[in-house]
Copies of this chain bind each other. A is one copy, B any other.
Amino acid sequence: MLTRVNEHPRRAAVRHLVTTDGMTREDVLRFIHLAEHLRGLPRERLRQRLPGRVIATLFYEPSTRTRLSFESAALKLGANVVGAENAIENSSAKKGEALADVFRIVGAYADAIVVRHHEPYTMAEAARLSPVPIINAGAGWGEHPTQALLDLYTISRELGRIDGLRIAVMGDLKYGRTVHSLLNLLRLFPGVRVTLLHLASLGLPEPLAHRLRADGLELTEASDVAAVLPEVDVVYQTRVQRERLERPEELEGAGRFRIGPEELALLPAHARILHPLPRVDELDAAIDEDPRAAYFRQAENGLYMRMAILDDLLGGDAV
């Protein structure tokens, strides 16, 4: 019944979640279904899903929210957690140790490893070496597959479907890893039409745009936010990844892509605004209480999606 997600090349029994590449529409729907199922279980039943399992969280790029989301998910399923809040500073990385060794060794202690790293290529290496499932919790400017899954869970929950939706994706499409993973999965849903809104310097990496179009995703570039907003079902807003910019000039004109009360007024009543958070100033707090502002519900959905991912990768036989 379980589809293999990011299967290990040599060890058929170990499944990872390190990239959205190779995932199917059925994979996505299965995760969404499982997240919704777990959400409905009472606390006591949840705790019987992964009793006694140990989940390791290795964060080479610190992120309190994402780490706490994974750790809460694991604990609510009855698993235990060991973690490194700031692995780059607080570990033998300083002594020159290869990451490869870390994954082999921690894989001997833990039943799964959740990794965030500043270097996109780390994840494939981790999956190659680890004897236990690797879950990508954000890889530099690369991918962030669990975020994309929770984004789709949110869209599906808020609007009842994903197929055929019109989605504006705004902000930093160059370094925004959540956008990369989200578009790569939207590709699997027929009829989805995506409008890209971004500064000239922060567009989608060309190879990715090319691949998405080749796979049939309708991608349109636009520059006039006010013209796009009345036509969409979903606005996916993102933060400029200032820490990854090469030159500050890349940011000039970013104010055009902010969403505040004026932009909200242009949005259809049924539409939803998503944001992976954290935000800086691209999303005005003045709109937080509008029912179309879905980003805090989206964050909460993250808890259930991460439960689903852990449960799926670790607890298969217990379902």
Contacts and interface: CB of A to CB of B under 8 A. Distances in A.
A194 to B, nearest CB: 25
A145 to B, nearest CB: 19
Contacts of A199: none
Given A72-B82, A277-B105, A239 B54 contact: no
A69 to B, nearest CB: 6
A97 B44 CA distance: 34
A91 to B, nearest CB: 4
Q: How large is the interface on A (under 10, 10 to 19, 20 to 34, 35 or more residues)?
A: 35 or more
A279 B92 CA distance: 9
Contacts of A63: 90-92
A47 interface: yes
Residue with the highest number of chain B CB atoms closer than 10 Å, among A59, A68, A71, A92: A68
Given A62-B89, A75-B54, A82-B71, A278 B109 contact: no
A52 B62 contact: no
B82 A54 contact: no
A313 interface: no
Interface string A39-61: 00001101100011010101100
Contacts of A281: 96
Interface string A69-109: 10111011000111011110111101111101110111011
A299 to B, nearest CB: 5
Contact of A86 (B85, B95, B98): B85
A64 B104 CA distance: 13
A278 B101 contact: yes
A106 B63 CA distance: 12
B68 A84 contact: yes
A80 B281 CA distance: 34
A90 B98 contact: no
Contacts of A75: 54, 80, 82
A161 interface: no
Given A68-B106, A68-B109, A52 B47 contact: yes
8 contacts: A47-B51, A59-B90, A71-B82, A81-B82, A98-B279, A101-B279, A108-B300, A109-B300
Given A68-B82, A95-B242, A108-B303, 5 more contacts: A54-B72, A65-B106, A68-B106, A96-B280, A97-B277
